[in-house]
Amino acid sequence: MRHTRIRPLVIVGLAYCTTLDKHAMTRRSHRHRLSNVLSIVLGLVTTGCCINAPTVENEEVYDGIVADDVLVEIRAGNPTDDERCDAACTEIVERQEGVVDEVLSCSAMVEDSDLPWDPSHTQVEITCIVQYTAQGFCTGRRPQGHRELLAEVDGVGPWFAMHAHLERASVAAFAELATWLEGRGAPSDLVERCRAAASDEIVHADLMAAFARRGGAEVPMCEAETAPDDVLTVAIHNAVEGCVHESFAAIVAAHQARHAAVELGRDAFAQIAGDELRHGELAWELHAWLLDQLDADGRALVERAQAEALMRLPERAAANAHATPAGLGWPAPARASEMARRFATLMAA
């Protein structure tokens, strides 16, 4: 069982914002919060991952139980009680999350005994505080009016083809968003970052397409219908597609960067994940600006659409996990669903 504690960085970020206006606070707090949420949900470590993504130092409290063969191994492999506790803590954290940098404190406990490491015990309860350096990451957003592809993904090649297709859709999504924002006098920083994101998505599409070709699959064409582009529609689209789906995709890409087979794109997922974290942060900043363009009723509709998307996310994540072939580093369905639940809870807080 693990207790997640929001890092002080988040609290500092929120406190820092108290003198800003409401939506500027939303913007800044989410910038901090997204990086931290990704880290909390995933607990990724730096080794081999996303060299261009920001790193976040995490410090969290964990508790759990080591028992049976694992306990025997820990007892035999570590000469002192402190070393046993650290080893048990590391085992608990790493089977759930990522690699531990340092165990800051650790305590071991068994019922009715002051000697938790005595060989007569078959299980020991551990509570510890660990520090690890995590990275946050991300993947695609669909453009307005995107026509969803109903293709069966029945292997690794088709999976990459589908994702190359979605990355190409993201190129169009950011290009059209940049033009739309420019036409409405949005800050040039947001416009330029959307254009930069479109360039990132071209790279992602090419990476995925190369793997698709290697797997003998062709990338389906993107199609989109004419869609309304009033402020409310664009705000809802960004709140769902950018803030929820693209941000959560950062977590999945990060997971793939750690768990995919090397020959099945681990490095590519690391690059994608680093870029997608920026896109997720951009989505939250766009969200703040778009909310500023709406009245109270409009803002309520946007927030409600986002809340519903967060609520549906665990089911969607589990379904995607089911549809992903082995070797691509996706979490198992139950794990994907749990990651989505944690993400939704933290983002909604």
Closer Cβ to Fe ion, 58 or 238, answer by number: 238
Tell me how far, at minimum, the Cβ of 203 lies from Fe ion, in Å. Answer: 8
Q: Residue from 276, 290, 317, 331 that binds Fe ion (CB under 5 A)?
A: 276
Task: Examine residue 279 and tell whether it contacts Fe ion (CB under 5 A).
Answer: yes
- State the DSSP code for 243: I
Task: Examine residue 84 and tell whether it contacts Fe ion (CB under 5 A).
Answer: no
Closer Cβ to Fe ion, 58 or 170, answer by number: 170
Q: How far is CA 18 from CA 6, 146, 177, 288, in A?
A: 18, 39, 30, 16
Sole window of 47-55, 159-167, 235-243, 329-337 interacting with Fe ion (rule: CB under 5 A)? 159-167
Sole window of 54-62, 201-209, 263-271, 335-343 interacting with Fe ion (rule: CB under 5 A)? 201-209
- Report residue 197 as tokens: 């994101």
Task: Examine residue 176 and tell whether it contacts Fe ion (CB under 5 A).
Answer: no
Number of residues that bind Fe ion (CB under 5 A): 8
Task: Examine residue 165 and tell whether it contacts Fe ion (CB under 5 A).
Answer: no
Q: Please, what's the largest Cα pairwise distance for the chain?
A: 73
Checking DSSP bridges between strand 102-109 and strand 55-67, what pairing results, if any? unpaired
Task: Examine residue 140 and tell whether it contacts Fe ion (CB under 5 A).
Answer: yes
Tell me how far, at minimum, the Cβ of 177 lies from Fe ion, in Å. Answer: 11
**120-139 binders of Fe ion (CB under 5 A):** 139
Three-class DSSP category at 277: helix
Closer Cβ to Fe ion, 201 or 281, answer by number: 201
Closer Cβ to Fe ion, 89 or 164, answer by number: 164
Q: How far is CA 231 from CA 158, 217, 239, in A?
A: 36, 38, 12
Do the Cβ atoms of 309 and 244 come closer than 8 Å?
Answer: yes
- State the DSSP code for 54: P
Task: Examine residue 204 and tell whether it contacts Fe ion (CB under 5 A).
Answer: yes
Three-class DSSP category at 134: strand
Task: Examine residue 258 and tell whether it contacts Fe ion (CB under 5 A).
Answer: no
Q: How far apart, in whole angstroms, are the C-alpha atoms of residue 136 and residue 273?
A: 7
Closer Cβ to Fe ion, 86 or 276, answer by number: 276
Q: What is the residue whose two structure tokens read 């006098």?
A: 185
Closest CA to 65 of 41, 99, 95, 39: 95
Tell me how far, at minimum, the Cβ of 274 lies from Fe ion, in Å. Answer: 11
For Fe ion, the binding residues (CB under 5 A) are 139-140, 167, 170, 201, 204, 276, 279
